[in-house]
Structure 1
Amino acid sequence: MYGAGAVGGVVAGRLAMAGHDVAVVARGAHLAAIRRDGLTLRQPSGDTVVKLDAVEHPGDTHKDVVVLGMKSMDTAAALVALEGFDGPVVCLQNGVANERAALRHFARVYGVHVILPGSHLEPGVVTAHCAPVPGILDLGRFPSGSDATAQALARDLESAGFVSQPRPDIMRWKYRKLLMNLGNAVEALCGRVDGVDEAAEPVRAEGEAVLRHAGIDVASAAEDRERRGDIMRWPGGVGRAGGSSWQSLARGTGTVEADYLNGEIVLLGRLHGVPTPANETARRLVQRAARSGARPGSMTPAEFLHAVSLSTNDGR
């Protein structure tokens, strides 16, 4: 598991608890804490300390399958570090750019549609918020299709308590998740306050319009609701402070993955002649917030919408 944060850490921890041989590639204080104390997996049922190998470089451990769990801006460096590996590479990541990048380096690449509410706010600790099923992790080969490896990976994830099935059309599901993730930047900028959902509406509306104009096949919102059903359950009183970009600002990492979420819509908009001022504003402002060390909630929803209106009037 290359990247052991909110998603990668939860999946690695549960796979190890299910008896699978798992090693994680981590860095900094998180790596030091896992090496010293183990990985603490916090779940509604309680905390479990999972002992597993933790290394700083993927060359320091045996690999049969590599799962990329880092944010998209760190994928390029990870792919270089993995040169020489000839097994399957699994993109347990949001966005839609990682699989294409990985396919330049590796012949067998798999995408995962990640529905896993998790948190990583302190070294050595990751939190899974839903129970008894922590997440839905459908997967498929990139660019399309399924095979015996996809089926085996799905079985392994199921053995660790996740819901997972192979999907030959995995990218249309990942594009639906991309649309849902477009609001991450707005949530990070404004915090989880009244009005944040309304402030995120323009970025999602632009995303829908751009993907439609580009002719990209996207799983519908109705399909997504049907797939989720009542699988993901949040025990009473359990919640998380914010999504992945909110957590990046809260931890002061200095980076967010908005270039690969909102930036994906901006890129497609420019390629197809569709204006995307809301997504460009969200991308630009949250990147600035990350670089400056701003905390979540540095602006109000009204201030964000005002910035969008100014960008719209500028013709961006």
Structure 2
Amino acid sequence: MRFVVYGAGAVGGVIGARLFQHGHDVTLIARGAHHEAVRDGGLRLDTPDESVTLPIPVADRPAKVTFRPGDVVLLAMKTQDTLPALTELAAVAPPDIVVASAQNGVENERLALRRFPRVYGVCVLLPSAFLEPGVVQAYQAPRTGGLDVGRYPDGVDGTAESLAAAFADATFAAEARPDVMRYKYGKLLMNLGNAVEVVIGPGERGADIARLAREEGEACLRAAGIDALGGGGMPFQVRPIRGRARGGGSSYQSLRRGTGTIEADYLNGEIVLLGREHGVPTPVNDLLRRLANRMAHEGLQPGLMTPEEFMAALDGSAPG
């Protein structure tokens, strides 16, 4: 089994690095300066216990990969980039290739299933970072995080069990679960706080706003009849790397890198969508979504407003 990790940033880069480090066949797909750095000098993985540079094969697009029977494509880009990525992949990959979504949100699997029949969901609990080309960081060690996996929309088969075994061999807590999407909906509730880190900044200042966002999310899932499991926290302790703590989650890192896009439409926006479909108000998530998108578009850094300013904007007494 070869893993073709499509999107070698914080999550994909760390998973690919750990798999490669433990003897698995891995090819990365990365873009731009990150691709060039990995191609020329390898991928550096920093953890609380080590810093290692790994000579992982890398391509800059699916068309540069010669796909083989038994390959697994591990999607690890942000959801706003999934559709064009799948379009490129479908043009060159065998139609029966295994596609596994190691991504936040719950939309990616549906997008993949339109193009490929063998789709798997991976519930990712992985505190990681990618802020400079050629370097990814994992803030848990010796266990790196959690990667539960199951077939989409449900079920467990030999492929799911093989994926879970490979992840477990590569320092992840991993189980094959027939109801993996219930865990991904639980993770979605956690990820509603990503936009809070962007708008308010990381730390405890935005805790009350994150709680309100989650309460809206839970109400929407109940109204939609969607059962969510897990999402209660990381399975192991997050530790600093060379004395520096992890600064923030994936959306925070997108703003720090100035990517110009953010995944709020598929996290907070998923709750807004469910609320509109089922008649549940979602003002907190909608404002977080709009503000996060505006900040990404304008190239702003995290920490746009205080919690008090956010609540004033929510009440309509300040521009949102």
TM-score (norm 2): 0.92
How many residues align? The count is 308
Query: Counterpart of 2:86?
Result: 79
Please state how far the C-alpha of 1:220 moved relative to its aligned partner. Answer: 5.3
The answer to whether the aligner puts 1:232 opposite 2:236 as a matched pair is: yes
Q: Distance in 1 between matches of 2:140 and 2:261?
A: 27
Distance 2:316 2:50 in 1: 48
- Counterpart residue identity of residue 15, structure 2: V
The 3-state SS of whatever aligns with 2:100 is strand
**Partners of 2:141 and 2:35 in 1: how far apart?**
27
| Bigger mean CA deviation after superposition, 61-70 or 300-309 | 300-309
1:189 aligns with 2:193: no
State the identity %: 53
Mapped to 1, the partners of 2:228 and 2:265 lie a distance apart of: 20
Per the TM alignment, residue 199 of structure 1 is displaced from its structure 2 partner at its CA by 2.0
1:133 deviates by: 0.5
Distance 1:309 1:179 in 2: 23
Give runs of aligned pairs for residues 206-221 of structure 1, distance below 5 A: 206-219=216-229
Selected match of 2:313 from 299, 307, 310: 307
Compute the displacement of 1:244 (Å).
0.5
What's the offset of the Cα at 1:238? Answer: 5.2
**Corresponding residue number in structure 1 for 2:180:** 170
User: Could you tell me how far apart the structure 2 residues matched to 1:82 and 1:249 are?
Assistant: 27
1-structure distance, mates of 2:39, 2:145: 26
Residue 29 of structure 1, CA deviation: 1.0
AA of the residue aligned to 1:130: Q
1:101 aligned onto 2:111: yes
Whole-angstrom distance in 1 between the partners of 2:193 and 2:315? 17
Alpha-carbon spacing, 1:300–1:38, altered in 2? closer, same or farther (3 Å)? same
Q: Deviations over 1:39-58 (max 9, x none)?
A: 00001112100111111111
User: Which amino acid is 2:113 matched to?
Assistant: L
Q: CA deviation at 1:132?
A: 1.2
Distance 2:204 2:98 in 1: 43
Contact 2:187-2:230 within 8 A present in 1 as well? no
Q: Return the letter of the residue paired with 1:243.
A: G
Alignment of 1:213-292 (within 5 A): 213-219=223-229, 224=232, 231-235=235-239, 237=243, 239-292=245-298
What SS does the corresponding residue of 2:174 show, helix, strand or coil? coil
Match of 1:45 among 46, 49, 62: 49
1:179 matched to which residue of 2? 189
Instruction: Read off the aligned partner of 1:87 and give its amino acid letter.
Output: I
Does the 8 Å contact 1:133/1:233 carry over to 2? no
Name 1:200's counterpart in structure 2.
210
Indicate the residue corresponding to 2:142 in structure 1: 132
Matched residues in 1 for 2:313 and 2:88: separation?
A: 39
What is the deviation of 1:193? 4.1
Q: Note the residue ranges of structure 2 that are not aligned, 5 or more in a row.
A: none
| Structure 2 Cα separation of the partners of residues 242 and 50 of structure 1 | 25
Partner amino acid, structure 1, of 2:155: G
Aligned residue in 2 for 1:12: 16
| Alignment counterpart, residue 65 of structure 1, candidates 69, 72, 83 | 72
- Provide the alpha-carbon RMSD of the alignment: 1.8
- CA contact 2:46–2:136 (8 Å) conserved in 1: yes
Q: What per-residue deviation string (whole Å, max 9, x for no partner) do you get for residues 163-187 of structure 1?
A: 1110000000000000000010011
